[in-house]
Structure 1
Amino acid sequence: MFKHTFAAFAILLGFVHNSTHAAPATIGSCYDTVKLGDITPPALSRDLYVLVDQTMALDAKLQEESYQKIIQFLMPGDSVQVIGFSANAAGYYTEIILRGVIDARLPEDIRYAISKKILRQVDTCQKNQDSQVRTYTGKALLHAFSNATTDLPKTEILSNLSSVSKNIISQSDTPEKYMLIISDMMENSDLLSLYGGGKLENLNPVRELEKLETKVTFEDMDQTQVYVVGGGFLNDGKYRSSVALKSLEDFWSLYFERSNADLRQFGTPSLLGQIGQ
C-alpha cells in the first residue's frame, strides 16, 4: 500500500499553487515508450473519474479521506482522471488536472517471449509509472482543493456531469467505469436549486427529475459506478437533518439511474466503504 498520507504531500511536493489553473499532467503507458514488437500489450480494464467540486471548502479530514479512497482503489490496469469543476464563472471552468494510467501487467506466458533487456525496461518504467500516478493524483487533488472558493453564486453539478459524460466517458472503451464525486451535491443553478430553508426536507425527487427532463438531455454514463464524498456537507458546524440527507441521496440516485449509472455509495459526508466494493 502506498505509505504517504495526503497531508504529507503538501510538504513532500512543495505544491503551493496560487493560480486558478495548473498545466494538465499526463502519465502515459509504458507500452508507448518500450516497444514490444508484434506483441499486443494488455488493455486497461478500469477507468476512475475523480470530480472535485470547487464551489465548496472541504475540511482536511475529508480531503485526506478522498485521497486515500483513490489510492486504495488504484491498481495495474487502471486509468485515472482528476477533474475540477465549479460554476462556469469567469476563471472557473471544468478543468482536467491529471490524466494517468497504470499499465496492466504482461502475463507470464507473454513475458517468456520477450527479451530480458526489454522486460527490464518495461518493469522499471511501470514501477516509476505507478509511483508517479499516485504522486500526481495527490498533486492534482491539492490543486483542486486549494483553488476552491465559496464566493461563487452558483454550483453547476448537473451541467458538469453532462459535459464529463459526453466528452470523456463516451470516448472510453474501458469495460469498467467508476466515478468519485467530491462535492456536497447541492446543485444551485438555473436547472435546479436545492438551497433554502427546509427545501431538502420537502424535496420530491421524482417531480424534480421530471422537471429536469423538460430542460436537459440525459447523457449516457455507460453503467458508471458512482461514489460520493461530502454529500450534504456543511463547513459552518450547522446540522443537516437525516430527512434532508435522504432526500438529497434519493434525488441523485434517480438522476444517475436515468443517466445509465449506479449510485453505489453516497457519503454524508464520509464514504464508509471502498470504491469498487
Structure 2
Amino acid sequence: MNSRLILSMVLACAAAVAQGADILPQCRGGAVPQAGPPDTALFVAIDATTPLDAELRHQVMDYIKPFLVAGNTIAVAVFPSAEKTPQPDLVLSGRLDTPLDSAARGALSKSLLARFDQCLLTQKQMARQYTAQALKRLFDTATGSTGHTEVMGSMRALSQAVQASTARNKVVLVVSDMLEHSEAGDFYADHRRTVRRVDPVMELRTADSHHLFGDFGGARVYVLAAGLLPDGGKAKPESDRRAMQLLQDFWSGYFGKSHAQLAGFGQVELEQPMR
C-alpha cells in the first residue's frame, strides 16, 4: 500500500472522526471474503459532566487498548448534561478486521494479500490514534457541572446500541460519576458536595415508574469514576464508603434489571480487570 493511499485513508478517517462516523478503513470486501460477527464489541460511554485528572484519563485509554485487536469493534459515545439531551452522541466507531485463514489467503494474488496485510496494520494504528484523540477531546471539554444529569436516561439510550450489536461478547465501559440529578432522583447531598446515601430498593422502584430500564443484551458493564465530585474544576473521590456501597448496589440492580451484569465499579480504578 503506497504512502499516498495511506495518507488518503488517514485524511478520510480524520473527517469521519469529526462526523462521529466509522474511523477505520475496511480491509475486507471485493475479492477478500467478508468476516463473520465481531468477537467483542466495546462500547465506551463518557459523561461530559465528570472531570478527570491526568492519571484517570490515561487509565481509561489503558483499559481500552487491550480491546483494540483484530475481530473487535469499538464505539465511543458522550452523554452531555440533560439540559441538552440524555441521548448519547456517537463520537467514533470502527471495526478491526480479522486476518485471513490459509485457505482464503491461497485464493488471492500476492499483490492483493500485501494490500490486505498492510490494511490490517493501518487499522490497528488508526484505532489507537483516533480513539486516544477522541478521548482527549472529550476529557478536555468536560464541564464538571452538577446540573441536571439523566444518567439513567443515557444508559437506557446507550443500551439500544449495545443490544443491537451482533458481537459474541459485549462490554461496556462507563466513565461517569453515576450521580443522577433529574426528576427520577437526586443522588447528591449537602448542596451537591457529597453523595447521598440512597435507598437502592426505593430508587429502583422510581426508575421503573419512569421507564428508565434498558436492554443491554447480556453485556458486562464496568463503571469508572463513580462518586467523583467536582472540586475546583477537577474531581475528588467520595470518602463516605457507605454512600458508595449503596450507590454501587443501586447500579448493580439497575443493570441487572436492564439485562446486563455490573462486572466492575470503581472511583479511581477498577478492582477487576475488564474482559
Provide the C-alpha distance between the structure 1 equivalents of 2:85 and 2:242, rounded to a whole number of angstroms. 36
Task: State the Cα distance separating 1:201 from its structure 2 match.
Answer: 5.9
Confirm or deny that 1:41 pairs with 2:35: yes
- Show the counterpart of 2:121: 127
Kept after mapping to 2: 8 A contact 1:83/1:95? yes
Q: Evaluate the alpha carbon distance shift between residue 224 and residue 239 of structure 1 in structure 2; reply closer, same or farther with a 3 A threshold.
A: closer
Q: Which structure: greater strand fraction?
A: 2
- Show the counterpart of 1:12: none
Percent identity, please.
30
- Show the counterpart of 1:232: 227
Provide the C-alpha distance between the structure 1 equivalents of 2:208 and 2:86, rounded to a whole number of angstroms. 27
Provide the C-alpha distance between the structure 2 equivalents of 1:22 and 1:122, rounded to a whole number of angstroms. 26
Q: Evaluate the alpha carbon distance shift between residue 110 and residue 42 of structure 1 in structure 2; reply closer, same or farther with a 3 A threshold.
A: farther
Deviations 1:228-247 (A, max 9, x none): 11111134347421111111
- Show the counterpart of 2:178: 185
Which is worse superposed, 88-97 or 201-210?
88-97
Question: TM (normalized to structure 1)?
Answer: 0.83
Q: Which runs of 5+ in 2 are unaligned?
A: 1-16
Query: What is the identity, as a one-letter code, of the residue corresponding to 1:139?
Result: Q
Provide the C-alpha distance between the structure 2 equivalents of 1:91 and 1:259, rounded to a whole number of angstroms. 21
Alignment RMSD, CA only? 2.3
- Show the counterpart of 2:159: 165
Residue of 201, 207, 211 corresponding to 1:216: 211
SS of 2:116 mapped into structure 1: helix
Query: What is the identity, as a one-letter code, of the residue corresponding to 1:169?
Result: V
Provide the C-alpha distance between the structure 1 equivalents of 2:239 and 2:219, rounded to a whole number of angstroms. 28
Deviations 1:85-107 (A, max 9, x none): 12232499632111111112222
Provide the C-alpha distance between the structure 1 equivalents of 2:93 and 2:227, rounded to a whole number of angstroms. 28
- Show the counterpart of 2:14: none
The number of residues matched between the two structures is: 253
Q: Evaluate the alpha carbon distance shift between residue 80 and residue 238 of structure 1 in structure 2; reply closer, same or farther with a 3 A threshold.
A: closer
Deviations 1:16-61 (A, max 9, x none): xxxxx943242245245x5226x34343211110000001211111
Task: State the Cα distance separating 1:118 from its structure 2 match.
Answer: 1.5
- Show the counterpart of 2:19: 23
- Show the counterpart of 1:264: 263
Q: Evaluate the alpha carbon distance shift between residue 60 and residue 249 of structure 1 in structure 2; reply closer, same or farther with a 3 A threshold.
A: same
Confirm or deny that 1:112 pairs with 2:112: no
Q: Which runs of 5+ in 1 are unaligned?
A: 1-20
- Show the counterpart of 2:8: none
Task: State the Cα distance separating 1:137 from its structure 2 match.
Answer: 0.4
Question: TM (normalized to structure 2)?
Answer: 0.84
Task: State the Cα distance separating 1:251 from its structure 2 match.
Answer: 0.5
SS of 1:179 mapped into structure 2: strand
Kept after mapping to 2: 8 A contact 1:58/1:235? no
Query: What is the identity, as a one-letter code, of the residue corresponding to 1:191?
Result: A
Which of structure 1's runs of 4+ aligned residues deviate more than 3 A?
A: 90-93, 197-202
SS of 2:186 mapped into structure 1: coil
Provide the C-alpha distance between the structure 2 equivalents of 1:92 and 1:267, rounded to a whole number of angstroms. 23
Which is worse superposed, 204-213 or 75-84?
204-213
Q: Evaluate the alpha carbon distance shift between residue 24 and residue 202 of structure 1 in structure 2; reply closer, same or farther with a 3 A threshold.
A: closer
Task: State the Cα distance separating 1:219 from its structure 2 match.
Answer: 2.0
Which is worse superposed, 228-237 or 58-67?
228-237
